[in-house]
Amino acid sequence: MKEFVLIFRNSVTEGFKPSPEQMQQLMTDWMSWMGSVAAQDKLADKGNRLSMSEGKTVKPGDIVTDGPYTEVKEFINGYMIVKTDTIEEAVSIASECPILKIGGNVEVRKIVSPDDNS
Protein backbone atom coordinates (compact mmCIF):
# COMPACT_ATOMS: atom_id res chain seq x y z
CA MET A 1 0.00 0.00 0.00
CA LYS A 2 1.36 3.40 -0.98
CA GLU A 3 0.27 6.85 0.06
CA PHE A 4 -0.44 9.65 -2.35
CA VAL A 5 -1.08 13.30 -1.62
CA LEU A 6 -3.83 14.85 -3.67
CA ILE A 7 -3.11 18.55 -4.06
CA PHE A 8 -6.11 20.66 -4.99
CA ARG A 9 -5.58 23.72 -7.14
CA ASN A 10 -8.03 26.30 -8.25
CA SER A 11 -7.67 29.40 -10.36
CA VAL A 12 -8.56 32.87 -9.24
CA THR A 13 -11.58 34.12 -11.10
CA GLU A 14 -12.16 37.78 -10.50
CA GLY A 15 -15.69 38.52 -9.53
CA PHE A 16 -16.71 34.87 -9.24
CA LYS A 17 -19.09 34.61 -6.33
CA PRO A 18 -21.06 31.43 -5.99
CA SER A 19 -24.54 31.72 -4.50
CA PRO A 20 -25.20 30.22 -1.07
CA GLU A 21 -27.11 27.50 -2.90
CA GLN A 22 -24.07 26.68 -5.05
CA MET A 23 -21.77 26.77 -2.00
CA GLN A 24 -24.06 24.34 -0.24
CA GLN A 25 -24.04 22.02 -3.25
CA LEU A 26 -20.25 22.22 -3.48
CA MET A 27 -19.90 21.32 0.20
CA THR A 28 -22.26 18.40 -0.20
CA ASP A 29 -20.30 17.20 -3.23
CA TRP A 30 -17.02 17.39 -1.30
CA MET A 31 -18.41 15.44 1.63
CA SER A 32 -19.93 12.82 -0.67
CA TRP A 33 -16.67 12.39 -2.50
CA MET A 34 -14.61 12.15 0.69
CA GLY A 35 -17.19 9.79 2.18
CA SER A 36 -16.92 7.60 -0.89
CA VAL A 37 -13.11 7.47 -0.63
CA ALA A 38 -13.31 6.72 3.10
CA ALA A 39 -15.93 4.01 2.52
CA GLN A 40 -13.38 2.19 0.37
CA ASP A 41 -10.96 2.44 3.29
CA LYS A 42 -8.60 4.44 1.10
CA LEU A 43 -8.53 7.69 3.06
CA ALA A 44 -5.24 7.99 4.95
CA ASP A 45 -5.64 11.61 6.08
CA LYS A 46 -8.51 13.94 5.39
CA GLY A 47 -5.99 16.74 5.09
CA ASN A 48 -6.92 20.41 5.30
CA ARG A 49 -8.42 23.21 3.28
CA LEU A 50 -6.16 26.24 3.01
CA SER A 51 -7.42 29.77 3.58
CA MET A 52 -7.83 32.01 0.56
CA SER A 53 -7.98 35.27 2.48
CA GLU A 54 -5.11 34.91 4.89
CA GLY A 55 -1.74 33.95 3.40
CA LYS A 56 1.73 35.38 2.84
CA THR A 57 4.75 34.36 0.81
CA VAL A 58 8.17 34.85 2.39
CA LYS A 59 11.20 35.40 0.15
CA PRO A 60 14.89 35.96 0.75
CA GLY A 61 15.82 39.49 1.84
CA ASP A 62 12.91 40.04 4.21
CA ILE A 63 10.45 40.28 1.40
CA VAL A 64 6.96 39.24 2.40
CA THR A 65 4.15 39.41 -0.12
CA ASP A 66 0.43 38.99 0.34
CA GLY A 67 -0.78 35.51 -0.48
CA PRO A 68 0.36 33.44 -3.38
CA TYR A 69 -2.01 35.26 -5.74
CA THR A 70 0.22 38.03 -7.04
CA GLU A 71 2.33 35.86 -9.28
CA VAL A 72 0.38 32.70 -9.96
CA LYS A 73 -2.99 32.38 -11.51
CA GLU A 74 -3.54 29.06 -9.78
CA PHE A 75 -3.28 28.54 -6.07
CA ILE A 76 -3.32 25.51 -3.82
CA ASN A 77 -6.45 25.42 -1.73
CA GLY A 78 -6.08 22.13 0.07
CA TYR A 79 -4.81 18.60 0.15
CA MET A 80 -5.66 15.14 1.38
CA ILE A 81 -3.85 11.81 1.51
CA VAL A 82 -5.11 8.53 0.07
CA LYS A 83 -3.73 5.00 0.43
CA THR A 84 -3.85 2.79 -2.66
CA ASP A 85 -1.77 0.07 -4.27
CA THR A 86 -1.02 2.00 -7.43
CA ILE A 87 -0.92 5.58 -8.67
CA GLU A 88 -3.63 4.62 -11.19
CA GLU A 89 -6.05 3.98 -8.34
CA ALA A 90 -5.16 7.33 -6.77
CA VAL A 91 -5.70 9.01 -10.12
CA SER A 92 -9.07 7.32 -10.47
CA ILE A 93 -10.08 8.70 -7.05
CA ALA A 94 -8.84 12.16 -8.05
CA SER A 95 -10.82 12.02 -11.29
CA GLU A 96 -14.05 12.16 -9.26
CA CYS A 97 -12.99 15.17 -7.20
CA PRO A 98 -15.64 17.91 -7.33
CA ILE A 99 -12.98 20.60 -7.84
CA LEU A 100 -12.76 19.45 -11.47
CA LYS A 101 -16.31 20.72 -12.01
CA ILE A 102 -15.43 24.27 -10.99
CA GLY A 103 -12.31 24.78 -13.07
CA GLY A 104 -9.74 23.39 -10.65
CA ASN A 105 -7.33 20.47 -10.93
CA VAL A 106 -5.77 17.79 -8.75
CA GLU A 107 -2.11 16.93 -8.61
CA VAL A 108 -1.32 13.38 -7.46
CA ARG A 109 2.07 12.84 -5.81
CA LYS A 110 3.43 9.76 -4.09
CA ILE A 111 4.71 10.36 -0.56
CA VAL A 112 8.38 9.44 -0.38
CA SER A 113 9.03 6.75 2.23
CA PRO A 114 12.46 5.77 3.63
CA ASP A 115 12.64 2.45 1.79
CA ASP A 116 11.21 3.72 -1.47
CA ASN A 117 12.16 7.18 -2.66
CA SER A 118 11.78 6.78 -6.36
Positions in the binding site for another protein (CB under 8 A):
28, 31-32, 34-36, 38-41, 43, 46
Of residues 43 and 94, the one with the C-beta less far from another protein: 43
Of residues 2 and 67, the one with the C-beta less far from another protein: 2
Q: Measured from the CB of residue 46, what is the shortest distance to another protein in angstroms?
A: 5
Q: Residue 93 corresponds to which amino acid?
A: I
Number of H helices, E strands in the chain: 2, 6
- Distance, in Å, from the CA atom of 1 to the CA atom of 84, rounded to the nearest integer, reads 5
User: Chain-centre distance of CA 5, in angstroms?
Assistant: 8
Of residues 30 and 75, the one with the C-beta less far from another protein: 30
